[in-house]
Amino acid sequence: MALKLFNTLTRSVQEFKPLDAGGKKVGMYCCGPTVYDFAHIGNWRTFVFADLVRRTLEFSGNDVTHVMNITDVEDKIIKRVRETQTTLREFTGKFEAAFLDDLKALGCREPHQKPRATESIAEIIALIEKLIARGIAYQANDGSVYFSIAKYQGCGCHYGQLLKLNLDEMRAGERVASDEYEKESIADFALWKARVPDDGDVFWPSPFGAGRPGWHIECSAMSIKALGETFDLHLGGEDLKFPHHEDEIAQSEGATGKPFVKFWLHGAHLLVEGRKMSKSLGNFFTLRDLLAKGFTGREVRYLLLTAHYRETFNFTLDGLHGAKTALARIDECVGKLRELAGGVTAAPESGLPEQFSAALADDLNISAAWGAVFKWVSAANKRLAENSMNAPAAAAALAAWEKVDSVLGVGVNSEAEIPAEISALAAERTAAKKAKDFKRADAIRDELKAKGWVIEDTPKGIKLKKN
């Protein structure tokens, strides 16, 4: 079934067709984290959305190259490095490692390439040199190199492909040096920032003098290096449309003279309890904050995957409790199917995967996709209760679930989700029972209960379930 997606470039839902002549290979670039702090739940919405896009394409048989950069040098990072008196690599390394751990905890497939900006300086410089050679970039009196919007437009290119911008309000010659700025200040933006004392040790030599790259040119250079001058998909949160993505298009198309990206996908933002997240409002959560409250990565993933990517999502702790209940329904059904199937395997039954893929093909209609899953759970539960399912039928139902879960990635509550401390207690209880020390075994059962876990003895061994 043809996959349709909303392309910000054309402001419409369009059929997605890979550029690859064979129709299989897809190049996908998602702007990665700025590693100056732990990623928050809003950031995670965007990265889980990117994972959904990738998994949907893979489900449809595409061979995806997923690239996610690590922004490890930009204004905010330099400020923090200065404040904390660390080195750039020491500072960013800690947050990069935490980011990759969280990505795993959320069940996201690891991107095939994760280029760091600091390791792409040669490509960044080469791209700036191309822009200078084409007369689109210039070195200003402050020593920094800027992108000239007027020269770019003069070459017949269009600035403002993603957003409607009022270029008449732009005053010729105005420049902006910082990485982040508002639409009101459309201006020539910095490609290479000349070294200043505040940068400390963070600088590289270049033909334009010592300095460091601007944030926007980093993504142009890294995406072109990984995926070529023209590629299929570029993703990010909606806040990146301007200036980041608009500037990426301008730099890339200005340097290569070719269309940069065919499809731009933007995920809407996440609010917490109806408000913009902020540390001062006390509604700012990292994934770690939520894990410390006893939620799991799959519960957070499930919740983030319940809303359509183009709708603002209101994240609440109540919603996370709801995610726990919803996943428990799936776990219970899948657990029963596993038991009934025993060791039998079968090809997936067709109903669920067909309904599920039709829903996703419709601009990732995730509500309809979950609707198909829960309808299937109800039907399977009914058949199980009526004893009208045999082992091959259970195996076929299970295979269908596994197929759709290759996209959802919520799996089934498994050992991996059981903390080591809980598994150790359960093993101790089994040993106590074996040694006929029932007092100790009961005490461990109570201790597990107090920690939120129920232990059940089944003919196949023990089963641990969350309360």
Q: Given the rule CB under 6 A, which residues bind ligand AMP? A: 31, 33-34, 42-43, 45-46, 236-237, 239-240, 269-270, 277
From Zn ion, ligand AMP, none, interface partner of 219 (C-beta below 5 to 8 A by class)? Zn ion
**Are 393 and 348 in contact, with CB atoms under 8 Å apart?**
no
Provide the greatest CA pair distance for the chain.
86
Packing angle of the helix pair 438-450, 420-434 (nearest 10 deg): 160
The β-bridge relationship of strands 461-466 and 231-237 is: unpaired
**Are 214 and 191 in contact, with CB atoms under 8 Å apart?**
yes
**Are 231 and 258 in contact, with CB atoms under 8 Å apart?**
no
- DSSP readout, 230-291? SEEEEEEEGGGIIIIIHHHHHHHHHHHSS--EEEEEEEPPEEETTB---GGGT---BHHHHH
Q: What is the distance between the alpha carbons of residues 24 and 62, in angstroms, rounded to a whole number?
A: 5
From Zn ion, ligand AMP, none, interface partner of 46 (C-beta below 5 to 8 A by class)? ligand AMP
Least CB distance from residue 58 to Zn ion, whole Å?
23
If the CB atoms of residues 34 and 65 are measured against ligand AMP, the closer one turns out to be 34
Segment near Zn ion (CB under 5 A); pick from 189-197, 219-227, 252-260, 432-440? 219-227
If the CB atoms of residues 130 and 269 are measured against ligand AMP, the closer one turns out to be 269
Q: In the set 31, 217, 326, 327, which binds Zn ion (CB under 5 A)?
A: 31
Least CB distance from residue 216 to Zn ion, whole Å?
7
Tokens of 141: 């009196």
SS3 of residue 360 by DSSP: helix
From ligand AMP, Zn ion, none, interface partner of 288 (C-beta below 5 to 8 A by class)? none
If the CB atoms of residues 99 and 401 are measured against Zn ion, the closer one turns out to be 99
From ligand AMP, Zn ion, none, interface partner of 332 (C-beta below 5 to 8 A by class)? none
If the CB atoms of residues 43 and 296 are measured against ligand AMP, the closer one turns out to be 43
From Zn ion, ligand AMP, none, interface partner of 211 (C-beta below 5 to 8 A by class)? none
If the CB atoms of residues 33 and 211 are measured against Zn ion, the closer one turns out to be 33
Least CB distance from residue 27 to Zn ion, whole Å?
15
- DSSP readout, 169-190? GPPTT-EE-SS---GGG--EEE
Q: How far is CA 264 from CA 11, 71, 154, 223, in A?
A: 10, 20, 25, 13
Quick check: 219 binds Zn ion (CB under 5 A)? yes
Least CB distance from residue 45 to ligand AMP, whole Å?
4
Q: Exposed/middle/buried for 364, CB within 10 Å: 0-12, 13-18, 19+? A: buried
Quick check: 28 binds Zn ion (CB under 5 A)? no
Least CB distance from residue 467 to ligand AMP, whole Å?
31
Q: Is the peptide bond before 243 cis (omega within 30 degrees of 0)?
A: yes
Least CB distance from residue 160 to ligand AMP, whole Å?
19
**Are 399 and 346 in contact, with CB atoms under 8 Å apart?**
yes
Q: How many residues bind Zn ion (CB under 5 A)?
A: 2
Closest residue to bound ligand AMP by CB: 237
If the CB atoms of residues 68 and 399 are measured against ligand AMP, the closer one turns out to be 68
Sorted by sequence, the CB contacts under 8 Å of residue 25 that are 6+ apart come out as 18, 62, 63, 65
The β-bridge relationship of strands 188-194 and 175-176 is: parallel
Quick check: 67 binds Zn ion (CB under 5 A)? no
Least CB distance from residue 263 to ligand AMP, whole Å?
16
From Zn ion, ligand AMP, none, interface partner of 269 (C-beta below 5 to 8 A by class)? ligand AMP
Least CB distance from residue 283 to ligand AMP, whole Å?
11
**Are 366 and 52 in contact, with CB atoms under 8 Å apart?**
yes
If the CB atoms of residues 69 and 206 are measured against ligand AMP, the closer one turns out to be 69
If the CB atoms of residues 127 and 352 are measured against Zn ion, the closer one turns out to be 127
Least CB distance from residue 281 to ligand AMP, whole Å?
13
If the CB atoms of residues 107 and 237 are measured against ligand AMP, the closer one turns out to be 237
From ligand AMP, Zn ion, none, interface partner of 223 (C-beta below 5 to 8 A by class)? none
Q: What is the distance between the alpha carbons of residues 385 and 379, in angstroms, rounded to a whole number?
A: 10
Which residues are at the interface with Zn ion (CB under 5 A)?
31, 219
